[in-house]
Amino acid sequence: MKQKKTMKLWQMIVLLLLSVTMVVTMFLPAFRVDSKARRKQIEVINKDEVLAEQMERNYGARIQGDLYMEPVEQDNSGSEMPEGEMSDGEVPDGGMSDGMVPDSGISDGLETESGARLNSRSMMDDLEENLGTFDEEISRYEGETNTKFSKISPFRIMTHGFEKFALGNRVSEEHTENEKTAFAAIQKKYNTLRVMLWVVFIFTLIVILMVLLGFFLKWNKFIPLITCTVYSVAASIIFGYLRFGFLKSIAKKTDGEALGELSKSYVFGLTDLSEVSVQGLGKILSCFYSIAFLIAFITGILMIIVSVMSMLTGNRVAAGEDTDNLPDIPIHNGLVGAVGDVKAGVLFPEVENIENIPTEPVSVPVNPVPVKKKVVPVPPAVPQVPMGQVRCTKGVAAGQGFMLPPDRKVIVGKSQQKANLIINNQNISNVHCSIRYNPGMNTYTIKDHSMNGTFVNGVRLQKDAAMEYPAGTVLTLADGNNEITLG
């Protein structure tokens, strides 16, 4: 049976932090309507000559909606009238007579057919001038309508319907046909946005739960990791679209004239967009992006990387087999187990103490008596089985030891029925730990199963986790009164 692969501590911590970061982004600003966004719009318009030309051609009104024109008063004969007097058909209070059309006012002194001279200032001058008071105007509008536009978080979008979000306490007011057209186009996209955000939010909480359960309940690591991978791929796609394509898709679904109507309510911050192309309109709207969607997109990418790396690494534990399913070394009078294949003629003798095995060379006579040579058939060589050594070098069982082949394991404990290296001490568990030898690397695989712990160099081994150590390692059991040497 293959070793069950569980999540490592670092994998759980990193995935948990990334998932929590995804939740936090729901409360960060995703859009902003403030002077910083306005300044970015100005920079975008200045860099794009085609967009600037479209904007200047359309511009004929202030951000607040009043016409920015200087009428030239004249009588029917064409001569100028005294200040304060109006000719027939002239509209008071800054109004416009028939034929007066707002223009960009690029050239000073340009007159319309009715004699009105357009202001020489351009749209960019007007936008620059109003930057200082733009935040105050937005705050005033937010206070009047009980809405929030300066910083719009995903969570606010999730918890507010479109009309309540955009109009606040002005939901019941009548709107123009253009406003209704814009509202209908944007509302459909807005509702789609809400659904996507709720889906991501709910599945983020599920992923957090799966990571915690997978780690603490010792699930196979592929269960939470595959879940994280699928989730992070979907989240990256969703947030990538929201950050780089959502506002541009709004620009494709509506027209500049309708958005211009909404901008007079400080929803978009610019007026009179009827002549602006879809591409230019997308650039203007993209200036309202803030940081939330970008952070969520990057977090999703990082989750993909961590999840895939965690699945591809750490799969080889020791020699690759489950030490719990290896046969135990047989017990002979509580001493060393005799291990071997009797049919193959391999037998390892019993000794009471491995340290007492004689190592002195055997003496050979200098002049042996010559004997008649006999031709004896040589049996085929039996392959030698590499073995490790496990010795109890300190404590009540000092002197016990095993020659340990790779297809057996030593179970250390105080249970006469379950252990084969018995240490009769109250701090030792019935099955305290298990040991297996890996001849290829000359290492030992240790699994701790105890209540009081197994230690290497003062560090406690993780319970029920296979840990690999080189020959010469000393295992300290429980309170430190018993030690086992490997090799």
Q: What is the pLDDT of residue 113?
A: 38
Kindly tell me if the per-residue pLDDT of 185 is higher than 50.
Answer: yes
Token output for 49: 């000559």
Kindly tell me if the per-residue pLDDT of 355 is higher than 70.
Answer: no
Summarised one tens digit per residue, pLDDT across range 85-100 is 444 444 444 343 343 3
Q: What is the pLDDT of residue 21?
A: 96
**Is 306 in the same domain as 196?**
yes
**Is 330 in the same domain as 442?**
yes
pTM: 0.55
In percent, the amount of the chain with pLDDT more than 90 equals 35
How far is 355 from 336, CA to CA, in rounded Å?
A: 12
**Is 118 in the same domain as 260?**
yes
Query: How far apart, in Å, do the first and last CA atoms of the chain sit?
Result: 26
The angle subtended at Cα 28 by Cα 25 and Cα 33, nearest 5°, is 140
How far is 418 from 452, CA to CA, in rounded Å?
A: 18
Q: What is the largest CA-CA distance in the chain?
A: 154
What's at 296, amino acid-wise? A
Look-up of token digits 């109250």: 426
**Residue that wins the pLDDT comparison between 394 and 340:** 394
Q: Answer with the one of 312, 336, 363 that is the final residue of a domain.
A: 312
**Residue that wins the pLDDT comparison between 319 and 171:** 171
**Is 292 in the same domain as 438?**
no
**Is 299 in the same domain as 174?**
yes
Q: What is the pLDDT of residue 116?
A: 34
Kindly tell me if the per-residue pLDDT of 314 is higher than 90.
Answer: no
**Is 346 in the same domain as 267?**
no
Domain count, the chain: 2
Kindly tell me if the per-residue pLDDT of 478 is higher than 60.
Answer: yes
The angle subtended at Cα 42 by Cα 37 and Cα 48, nearest 5°, is 125
Q: Answer with the one of 284, 312, 340 that is the final residue of a domain.
A: 312
Average pLDDT over residues 348-362: 44
Kindly tell me if the per-residue pLDDT of 206 is higher than 90.
Answer: yes
| Residue 271 and residue 63 in contact, taking contact as beta carbons nearer than 8 Å | yes
Kindly tell me if the per-residue pLDDT of 307 is higher than 70.
Answer: yes
Kindly tell me if the per-residue pLDDT of 209 is higher than 60.
Answer: yes
Kindly tell me if the per-residue pLDDT of 294 is higher than 60.
Answer: yes
**Residue that wins the pLDDT comparison between 72 and 393:** 393
Kindly tell me if the per-residue pLDDT of 338 is higher than 60.
Answer: no
Whether 371 is covered by a domain: the verdict is no
- What's the alpha-carbon Rg for the chain, to the nearest Å? 42
Q: In this structure, is the dihedral angle defined by the CA atoms of residues 25, 31, 34 and 35, taken in order, positive or negative?
A: positive
Average pLDDT over residues 444-454: 93
Q: What is the pLDDT of residue 83?
A: 43
Q: What is the pLDDT of residue 45?
A: 85
Per-position DSSP letters for 394-458, written without gaps between them: ESTTTT-EEEE-TT-EEEEES-TTT-SEE---TTS-TT-EEEEEETTTTEEEEEE--SS-EEETT
**Is 406 in the same domain as 308?**
no
**Is 290 in the same domain as 325?**
no
Residue 476 forms beta bridges with which residues? 455, 483
Whether 291 is covered by a domain: the verdict is yes
Kindly tell me if the per-residue pLDDT of 425 is higher than 50.
Answer: yes
Q: What is the pLDDT of residue 94?
A: 38
Average pLDDT over residues 204-220: 93
Kindly tell me if the per-residue pLDDT of 62 is higher than 50.
Answer: no
Domain that holds residue 432: 318-350+386-487
Average pLDDT over residues 194-221: 94
Q: Answer with the one of 312, 339, 367 that is the final residue of a domain.
A: 312
Kindly tell me if the per-residue pLDDT of 50 is higher than 60.
Answer: yes
Whether 357 is covered by a domain: the verdict is no
Q: What is the pLDDT of residue 202?
A: 96
3-state secondary structure of 474: strand
Whether 391 is covered by a domain: the verdict is yes
Whether 339 is covered by a domain: the verdict is yes
The set of residues, in sequence order, having a beta carbon less than 8 Å from that of 392 and lying 6+ positions away, is 398, 399, 400, 401, 421, 423, 482, 483, 484
**Is 298 in the same domain as 429?**
no
**Residue that wins the pLDDT comparison between 24 and 420:** 24
Residue 437 forms beta bridges with which residues? 444
Q: What is the pLDDT of residue 179?
A: 62
Kindly tell me if the per-residue pLDDT of 394 is higher than 70.
Answer: yes
**Is 343 in the same domain as 429?**
yes
**Is 167 in the same domain as 304?**
yes
How far is 222 from 24, CA to CA, in rounded Å?
A: 26
Average pLDDT over residues 433-437: 94
**Is 159 in the same domain as 190?**
yes
Whether 122 is covered by a domain: the verdict is yes
The angle subtended at Cα 93 by Cα 87 and Cα 94, nearest 5°, is 80
Per-position DSSP letters for 12-53, written without gaps between them: HHHHHHHHHHHHHHTTS-SB--SHHHHHHHHHHHHH-HHHHH
Banded pLDDT at 454 (limits 50, 70, 90)? very high
Q: What count of other Cβ atoms lies within 10 Å of the Cβ of residue 431?
A: 17
**Strand 401-404 and strand 388-394: pairing?**
antiparallel
**Residue that wins the pLDDT comparison between 389 and 178:** 389
Find which of 41-50, 92-101, 181-190, 295-304 is predicted with most confidence, using mean pLDDT: 295-304
Kindly tell me if the per-residue pLDDT of 159 is higher than 90.
Answer: yes
**Residue that wins the pLDDT comparison between 178 and 138:** 138
CATH code for the domain in which residue 420 is found: 2.60.200.20
Sheet with 433-438, strands from edge to edge, namely 421-422, 409-413, 433-438, 443-448, 467-470
Whether 229 is covered by a domain: the verdict is yes
What's at 361, amino acid-wise? P
Q: What is the pLDDT of residue 118?
A: 38
Mean pLDDT taken over the chain: 74
Look-up of token digits 């030593």: 410
Q: What is the pLDDT of residue 423?
A: 92
Whether 1 is covered by a domain: the verdict is no
**Residue that wins the pLDDT comparison between 334 and 171:** 171
Summarised one tens digit per residue, pLDDT across range 263-293 is 554 444 455 566 778 888 888 889 989 999 9
Burial class of residue 173, CB neighbours in 10 A (0-12, 13-18, 19+): exposed
Give the least confident one: 24-33, 126-135, 453-462, 474-483: 126-135
Of 286, 36, 228, whose CA–CA distance to 151 is shortest? 36
How far is 411 from 328, CA to CA, in rounded Å?
A: 7
